[in-house]
Structure 1
């Protein structure tokens, strides 16, 4: 039976494959390892990802040059040790082993097991310092994995293994003494680490207890954190996909080590695949809900889940990755890629009605609408926000997360105005309190209709976030994606008796170029271009109801964060309107590849707020069309010119 995913021989082969398949990743690992040899670090999940921070000799594991507690937490997870191990496998240089041992020993000398700490202090999920339970669970995984990568080194043949196992036992006892809340994601990482200790130290008299406790609490985490539709409770793409690895690696280690998990655990784990797959856009990335990175790659997680569960159907629809290579080795990696070469993506629309996520997709487009709850501290005030992809070009985007550090940037990226939805009086749908807290009442969304057929996809949803205002506003959104016409139709109804400033906002990518061709008048018009592509989009608007003045279209500066700690200016198209009662805003988006000779002409856009009716008339490729949406039906009709 194994105590790790791969043997020493398999790891050596994997390192050679890694250099060939992922040279940029290999170079980055070497860079991190070489800087670690000089006691210099860049800490993930902090706001400076470009500066190597010198941490002293020996490393001062409590040094924090920032105001961000994520820095201390990050450095004490010892993720750099994985790169020391990879560098050793790639270069067979003993200096990386020496630094690994030095960092391990200096950390232990500086950070003895806390004594006299209260239970409440120990389990507090925001506890400062290196002994927070989350860091315990993650740090032991770094120690064990790095050791296995460097196990062939003669330096590790002596007393060091005894020191490592002693430290692991200390951590295991700490993780069993203080048990975190199984309703939050930290708890699964606590037990992920504990199970890995039990697997690595099977001879320890307490190993059976550690193993049993880890399995039982991971089962509890699955029950408490994975909803009826297989979606992780924080309702973010990042934490859902990360949970696949957190729940999945102990399941895999259990099978490899001869201590398999119950079958029901694997069945629960498999249910997570549907949401991961649904969030994969045609451009290969994933819709980044809540606190997620814009460059999320759900296909990697889908393949990883398939490999863990031994499900070729999931593997074939996913994508190989460096993580898959290091966990399953070269032979399996090649087999997985062969499966994926013959796979075709699923183009059917999918809904998660109990949660509130809706995906409309076909051969040309992908449209996502968020009608879910916020999901807690990692959620954003983004009810009825949308993403739209046309011919693999992301048009309307989610902004990402950027930072967890309290301040204006944390608020901005969580705010309503940062998302492709509607703001009222420049307020958030749910009041913002702090990085880890939202105020009351929380905006609640409801879906009234959902249709997906051969001619169109349609959703009708609303939220009550602005009903808390002195003059309440109910925001209702209609979204129709035609499968026969190259257009997307959006109608926002604002039901109110008072006066308000309305903004219908569209977050674009940094490379988008905006031309406001007609910013005011009866039918404002804006054109978008995308650098390096032949992709263009025309945007048309119509407003009606109790208006004070007309609709005004303006370009503003917003922000996009591809990964945590990095942000970039990006244009926002803002349709502004002042109302003194119920009103509606219709927006129609027409993509046009310049090489495509077919053209779509819009002849008339009409809105009737009193009866809640929106209509669009036009011509496409010699055919006249009419789309009419009312409170209870959608009618799409087409008529040839000669009829």
Structure 2
């Protein structure tokens, strides 16, 4: 305990004194029962939530078969979890089942304050949350709008009625997280927009959304204290959810309360945008997945602001949003829309009005620039499905949006946190640690390389937030393409989501290109006072990457460099030490995760030395 406190105290200014004080108060209020008293249990909301509507007139034929298949799968009791795993879950689903382990939650009727995030008998709570994110709702709404089959409308109403019966206000795990509550608001509003009834919402739908807004507003300070996407999601849900209700022809709830929610949500959202999105677009959590969560959240917000005639954001805020989207453009590593698997990856994809794979970021980016600028990033001559999210917002105009031309160079360093080099058939990325916001793993100076659309030097990913030693393994320095001193991690762990002794990079040589060769050098010092300097030279003409790792070690300890690559990867790696002696490689099998709770085999090549340098030459 004393050791953890000694690691925690230096972090207080970075975490924020108000944030830490609030978290202490929050946990105290839980133990004393005050939090439970603040959120009284409610009753189920009954009745039909959505009604019949007219058909979409110009939905492309090429998309129909996949949309119908997705909707029919739901009717046959099959749902996707984390946009990758398919399970038979019932019709309606069992909202408290873990289909990965075939277990069902004990006592789902408890108040949400009485349930743990990590010690449930069903394991990872994120699994229970998946069907309650309501992806099926927008799938069925789209299918009904396109095909006009009443069974889709009937099913979405029956499932919502069942969900409300089993999950009355503040009862059970699906009310535990304010962000999950906000995501449901996004889906409820979006389904209403798809069905063209968002100005004449039914009384049950208004009531259900109001209950969600009350849950968000009552606990949003907790989200703010996290300095992550919980704050952006909850503020967005509060702002737009209240705006949506205020735009009803017949409002069945208190307009005074709604105006308070709306004003508060917008104010917090603007604050979060300016604090958590850096000037070149990097979001605080330093993760491509969580970057997309924020991009999708703000696409939803900006579109709703247009639809409901809300005042525009300031130029400062819109400038930050533009850089947020350009960051995601830069991180798109191949023509299929795949990014490097950097940072935490929890399976989140909030924008699901399309049939594309979870790893395809084109629908998200295309929609974001469509709502922000009425422009498109990607041409779609083959009418691939990544335009569909844009279609549902602008069905008549989306094909006429002009091409967006970014002024970003093809190489650079984003907010001193992500280095990138992008050429026609090559992309290189490097993680540069900074100490402003919480790091999520020991991935300092990880290098990711893509050639001809393939990720030939890859990151291991996340796998799960609640799998014990497996979670630790994927977060470990050994799971990334970087250096380990002896058997130590780059940072000591304080708790599940908090490291101590955050790393801060010193740039030794800025990224530059001379005579066709890119070069860069930077260093950091870890909590054991070991200094690591990583320099690289990328010669695209010779298809060669040379990485030099130099060490200043206080003790005679071993240093190891790890390189992760696909099975049967076409790479030639050779390494030498400080004395130009060849190092013998140690090849081992390991695993990577591209989707939450998914693993697949990759190979890990390791070089070790007692000297103060390893130089790796990689020919590709």
Tell me the TM-score normalized by structure 1.
Answer: 0.73
Q: Would you say the 8 A contact 1:460–1:478 is kept in 2? A: yes
Tell me which residue corresponds to 2:505. Answer: 445
Select the residue among 169, 174, 182 that pairs with 1:137. 182
* Distance in 2 separating the partners of 1:413 and 1:403: 9
* Distance in 1 separating the partners of 2:207 and 2:185: 12
Select the residue among 536, 539, 562 that pairs with 1:505. 562
Tell me which residue corresponds to 1:321. Answer: 386
SS of the residue corresponding to residue 307 of structure 2 reads: helix
* Distance in 2 separating the partners of 1:546 and 1:301: 47
1:269-321 Cα shifts (integer Å, max 9, x gaps): 11213322221224542122211379644444332221111253756699972
Tell me which residue corresponds to 1:494. Answer: 551
Q: Would you say the 8 A contact 1:538–1:590 is kept in 2? A: yes
For residue 374 of structure 1, report the CA deviation from its aligned partner. Answer: 7.0
Q: Would you say the 8 A contact 1:544–1:583 is kept in 2? A: yes
1:231 and 2:293 equivalent? no
Tell me which residue corresponds to 1:92. Answer: 148
For residue 388 of structure 1, report the CA deviation from its aligned partner. Answer: 1.4
* Distance in 2 separating the partners of 1:195 and 1:451: 41
Q: Would you say the 8 A contact 2:236–2:301 is kept in 1? A: yes
Structure in which a larger fraction of residues adopt helix: 2
Tell me which residue corresponds to 2:590. Answer: 558
1:137-163 Cα shifts (integer Å, max 9, x gaps): 1112222333444568xxx99xx9112
Tell me which residue corresponds to 2:236. Answer: 192
Tell me which residue corresponds to 2:412. Answer: 350
Q: Would you say the 8 A contact 2:562–2:606 is kept in 1? A: yes
SS of the residue corresponding to residue 444 of structure 1 reads: coil
For residue 128 of structure 1, report the CA deviation from its aligned partner. Answer: 4.6
Q: Would you say the 8 A contact 1:55–1:61 is kept in 2? A: no
Tell me which residue corresponds to 2:354. Answer: none
Tell me which residue corresponds to 1:52. Answer: 88
* Distance in 1 separating the partners of 2:65 and 2:438: 37
SS of the residue corresponding to residue 595 of structure 2 reads: coil
1:302-313 aligned at under 5 Å gives the runs 302-310=365-373, 312=375
Select the residue among 219, 240, 249 that pairs with 1:178. 219
Tell me which residue corresponds to 2:615. Answer: 586
Q: Would you say the 8 A contact 2:512–2:519 is kept in 1? A: yes
For residue 385 of structure 1, report the CA deviation from its aligned partner. Answer: 0.6
For residue 235 of structure 1, report the CA deviation from its aligned partner. Answer: 1.0
Select the residue among 320, 334, 341 that pairs with 1:288. 341
Select the residue among 580, 593, 608 that pairs with 1:576. 608
Q: Would you say the 8 A contact 1:235–1:374 is kept in 2? A: no
- Compared with structure 1, are the counterparts of its residues 313 and 113 closer, same or farther at alpha carbon in structure 2 (3 Å cutoff)? closer
- Compared with structure 1, are the counterparts of its residues 495 and 241 closer, same or farther at alpha carbon in structure 2 (3 Å cutoff)? same
Q: Would you say the 8 A contact 1:359–1:368 is kept in 2? A: yes
For residue 370 of structure 1, report the CA deviation from its aligned partner. Answer: 1.2
1:541 and 2:575 equivalent? yes
Q: Would you say the 8 A contact 2:366–2:376 is kept in 1? A: no
1:161 and 2:190 equivalent? no
1:421-472 Cα shifts (integer Å, max 9, x gaps): 111223221124554232x22333322112322421111112222xx33xx4
Tell me which residue corresponds to 2:44. Answer: none
Larger relative contact order, structure 1 or 2 (CA cutoff 8 Å, min sep 6): 2
For residue 231 of structure 1, report the CA deviation from its aligned partner. Answer: 1.3
* Distance in 1 separating the partners of 2:540 and 2:416: 25
Q: Would you say the 8 A contact 2:486–2:558 is kept in 1? A: yes
- Compared with structure 1, are the counterparts of its residues 406 and 436 closer, same or farther at alpha carbon in structure 2 (3 Å cutoff)? farther
Tell me which residue corresponds to 1:108. Answer: 164
* Distance in 2 separating the partners of 1:197 and 1:361: 39
For residue 56 of structure 1, report the CA deviation from its aligned partner. Answer: 7.1
For residue 107 of structure 1, report the CA deviation from its aligned partner. Answer: 2.7
Larger Rg computed on CA atoms: 1
* Distance in 1 separating the partners of 2:93 and 2:574: 62
1:279 and 2:339 equivalent? no
Tell me which residue corresponds to 2:472. Answer: 411
Structure in which a larger fraction of residues adopt strand: 1
1:255-274 aligned at under 5 Å gives the runs 255-264=306-315, 265-274=317-326
* Distance in 2 separating the partners of 1:228 and 1:55: 47
- Compared with structure 1, are the counterparts of its residues 22 and 99 closer, same or farther at alpha carbon in structure 2 (3 Å cutoff)? closer
Tell me which residue corresponds to 2:81. Answer: 43
* Distance in 2 separating the partners of 1:372 and 1:476: 12
SS of the residue corresponding to residue 428 of structure 2 reads: strand
For residue 339 of structure 1, report the CA deviation from its aligned partner. Answer: 3.6
Select the residue among 370, 394, 401 that pairs with 2:462. 401
- Compared with structure 1, are the counterparts of its residues 167 and 299 closer, same or farther at alpha carbon in structure 2 (3 Å cutoff)? closer
Q: Would you say the 8 A contact 1:248–1:269 is kept in 2? A: no
Give ranges in structure 2 of 5+ residues lacking alignment.
1-51, 99-103, 106-120, 348-356
For residue 242 of structure 1, report the CA deviation from its aligned partner. Answer: 1.9
- Compared with structure 1, are the counterparts of its residues 197 and 72 closer, same or farther at alpha carbon in structure 2 (3 Å cutoff)? same
For residue 399 of structure 1, report the CA deviation from its aligned partner. Answer: 1.8
* Distance in 2 separating the partners of 1:139 and 1:362: 40
* Distance in 2 separating the partners of 1:459 and 1:187: 35
Q: Would you say the 8 A contact 1:446–1:463 is kept in 2? A: yes
* Distance in 2 separating the partners of 1:330 and 1:538: 49
